[in-house]
Amino acid sequence: MGERANADRAPKKSDLGIELFWLRKLGESFLSVVPILIVVTVLYFTRIIKDFYLPGYVSFLVAAFFIGLGLALFTVGAEQSMSRIGQVIGETLFRKRKLWLIIVMTFLIGLLVTVAEPDLRVMASQIGWNEIALIAAVGIGVGLFVVFGVLRILFNKNLNIMFVAFYGIVFALAGVVNPKFLPIAFDSGGVTTGPVTVPFILAFGAGLAASRSAGGHSGENAFGLTALASVGPIICTMVMSLFANIGGMEYVWSPSDLVRAATWADFWPSFKNAFVETVWMGRSEDGLVLGQAISVAIAIVPLALFFIFYDLAFVRLSFKEILRILVGLFYAYLGLVVFMSAVDLGFLPVAQRVGHSLGGDGALFPIAVLVGGLFGLFGVFAEPAVHVLVRQIADVSEGTIKPFTVLVSMALGIAIGVALAIVRAHYRWPILYFMVPGYLLAIGLSFVVPRIYTAIAFDSGGVASGPMASAFVMPFAIGFVVSANGGENVFSDAFGCVAMIALMPLIVIQLMGLFAETKRKIVYARARKKFVEPGEGEIVFFGEEGA
């Protein structure tokens, strides 16, 4: 009964009425999209974007509206369903006291939520290589490394040591992997942790850490799973590339007709076809193309079936609680369909056009770096999973780590990361010039800052590189490289921007932790000094007179 009572305990709801609650969510979502809207609007009216006319701009505005709506629906649904499912499984799985069951269930969880991750599908579709092989390798990587993360929590192992070991393997493999495929491998770790994976894994880790009763380390153990889930795909895709035929990989540039349409008569036929293909199903030279309604269903339905099976076998929640979770999954499904469809129809083609316009003229290179930085800065606020993470931080730290501070630190770091990605693409520097020193610094900091900051930082890196990164920043970089370098070496130059996004929060948030820890020590030192009386440190000897 105790286990069921704990599992049936629903998360606290807002004291606001249901109408005000929805208005607040809608307001937060629309405000997160406004900054990107402003940047594109400035570029449109200054005519910096070439072949970008009124129909394309209006479609971008409409897409921005639906992105805000979809983000609101998803956020509400994720809070009500995915986070709850992860919490229930995390809290109850450890109590079974069967290690083999924990390993099998954890691997299945990691595999299910990753194979159908929309971010991963967006990236795989832009590569144009064997999508099934790439998605399978990433899914296996996440499944295995979530298992490693769970075993770390169960046996209370040091997260820093695991990062040293696993990233050591990454850079050892980097020396033998085809340089064309290397940026894709690093990107695969970033796009893995998207809007489906992150809410589930964060809540799963928090529930598992709570049931583990790890004492003072429960807050620290609640984080770190997402970070390990990000490194697994890098290793697995690198290993896969050693045995796969990737020598013939070629990028095919196919700009959207929606952006280039000069009149509404040109726009509507292309829009109708693109809408049907994006939302439902289309047909290409390679066969049928699944729309977002089907792709997102593939992401959500297996998760729902897995949870129902797990509940019947191990938990048995009340009917009311199960219905509430299923309704939340429907909200999350609907929100993701709206969000990803709007991204495909309005945001992705505009991002390509912006990058293509700024890459063709060397004089516009500084503007490209600035715009890339702004896209990175503002894109963080539109990432669904980021908002889930910052709420998790507030809950686990009981308010001692401010979510707004983490969010601002992430935004600034990612702005720098995207700007550096454009600089790298322009000068065609190898990605290891940034990955090696960046991860050495991040891992070095992990030994001098409080462990909870390290866990949050590595989780933030994966969370920040979500749908806005794969569907807006990545096509921006691709468009820039196609225009600047004539489409040569797109894989080695344009890809890797998501990896840069994932890297920067690791450094920035740990630096924030180092600053907070140094400040705390200074304050304590000053406080101790005030309470030390003069002569308190002297040693007085008492003895007989004349001795």
Query: Does 503 map to a domain?
Result: yes
Distance of alpha carbon 304 from the chain centroid? 22
Looking at residues 165-191, what average pLDDT do you find?
Answer: 88
Mean pLDDT of the region 385-413: 72
pLDDT at 235: 92
Strand partners, 287: 284
> Is the CB of residue 201 less than 8 Å from the CB of residue 112?
no
> What is the structure's pLDDT at 419?
92
How many CB atoms neighbour CB 180 within 10 A? 16
How many domains in the chain? 1
Q: Does 349 reside within a domain? A: yes
What confidence score (pLDDT) does residue 219 get? Answer: 53
DSSP 467-515: HHIIIIIHHHHHHHHHHHHTTTTHHHHTTTHHHHHHHHHHHHHHHHHHH
The pLDDT, as a whole number, for residue 283 is: 47
Question: pTM of the full predicted structure?
Answer: 0.79
CA distance linking residue 114 with residue 138, whole number of Å: 7
* CB-side neighbour CA atoms (13 Å) of 351: 26
Mean pLDDT of the residues in the chain: 78
Of residues 8 and 350, the one with the higher pLDDT is: 350
Structural domain boundaries enclosing 478:
2-12+24-244+259-520
Please state, in angstroms and rounded to a whole number, the distance separating the CA atoms of residues 193 and 426. 28
Measure the CA–CA gap between 496 and 417, rounded to whole angstroms: 10
Q: Determine, yes or no, domain membership for 193.
A: yes
Q: For residue 45, give both structure tokens.
A: 């009216």
User: What confidence tens digit (pLDDT) does each residue in 262-280 have?
Assistant: 788 777 877 777 777 777 7
| 58 has a pLDDT exceeding 90 | no
pLDDT in tens, 21-47: 667 777 777 777 788 888 889 888 888
Q: Is 533 contained in some domain? A: no
Reading the block at residue 95, the tokens are: 């109590």
How many whole angstroms separate alpha carbon 447 and alpha carbon 504? 18
Judge whether residue 169 has pLDDT over 90.
yes
Banded model confidence at residue 70, pLDDT cuts 50, 70, 90: confident
> What integer pLDDT is reported at residue 247 of this predicted model?
65
Largest distance between two CA atoms of the chain: 113
Residue pair 147/100 in contact (Cβ under 8 Å)? The answer is no
**Number of Cβ within a 10 Å radius of residue 8:** 14
Q: What average pLDDT score do residues 407-412 get?
A: 82
Q: Does residue 528 form part of some domain?
A: no
Question: What is the structure's pLDDT at 33?
Answer: 79
Q: Give the tens place of pLDDT for each residue, 180-236.
A: 888 888 888 877 777 677 777 777 777 776 666 544 455 555 567 777 888 889 999
The whole-angstrom separation of Cα 118 and Cα 278 is 13
Tell me what pLDDT residue 487 has: 65
Confidence of residue 420 (pLDDT cuts 50, 70, 90): very high
Between 373 and 287, residue with greater pLDDT: 373
The pLDDT, as a whole number, for residue 285 is 46
> DSSP secondary structure string, 336-377?
HHHHHHHIIIIIHHHHHHHHHHHHS-GGGHHHHHHHHHHHHH
- Give the phi and the psi of residue 454 in degrees, each rounded to 5: -65, -45
Residues 129 and 240: their CA atoms lie apart, in Å, by 13
Could you tell me the pLDDT band of residue 434, with boundaries at 50, 70 and 90? Answer: very high
Cα end-to-end distance, the chain, whole Å? 75
Transcribe 25-58 into DSSP letters: HHHHHHHHHHHHHHHHHHHHHTT-STT--HHHHH
- Please tell me the least confidently modeled range out of 90-99, 172-181, 498-507: 90-99
CA distance 110 to 16: 35
Report the C-alpha gap between 451 and 153 in whole angstroms. Answer: 13
Answer whether residue 387 is part of any domain: yes
Q: What confidence score (pLDDT) does residue 209 get?
A: 67
User: At residue 281, what are phi and psi to the nearest 5 degrees?
Assistant: -160, 145
Q: Which of 369-383, 491-505, 527-541 has the highest mean pLDDT?
A: 491-505
Any domain includes 525: no
Phi and psi at 287, nearest 5°, equal 120, -155
pLDDT tens-digit series, residues 353-377: 888 888 877 778 899 999 888 888 8
At residue 84, the pLDDT reads: 82
What CA–CA distances, in Å, run from 304 to 177, 307, 377?
Answer: 37, 5, 34
Q: Is 290 helix (H, G, I), strand (E, B) or coil?
A: strand
- Give the model's confidence band at 1: pLDDT under 50 very low, under 70 low, under 90 confident, else very high: very low
Query: Is 102 domain-assigned?
Result: yes
Greatest mean pLDDT among 33-47, 274-288, 480-494 lies in 33-47
Q: What is the pLDDT of residues 89-137, one digit of tens each?
A: 877 877 777 788 888 888 888 888 787 676 777 777 777 677 778 888 8
The pLDDT assigned to 536 comes to 55
Per residue in 290-346, pLDDT tens? 677 887 887 788 888 888 888 888 888 888 889 998 998 898 888 888 888 888 888
Q: Does residue 281 sit in helix, strand or coil? A: strand
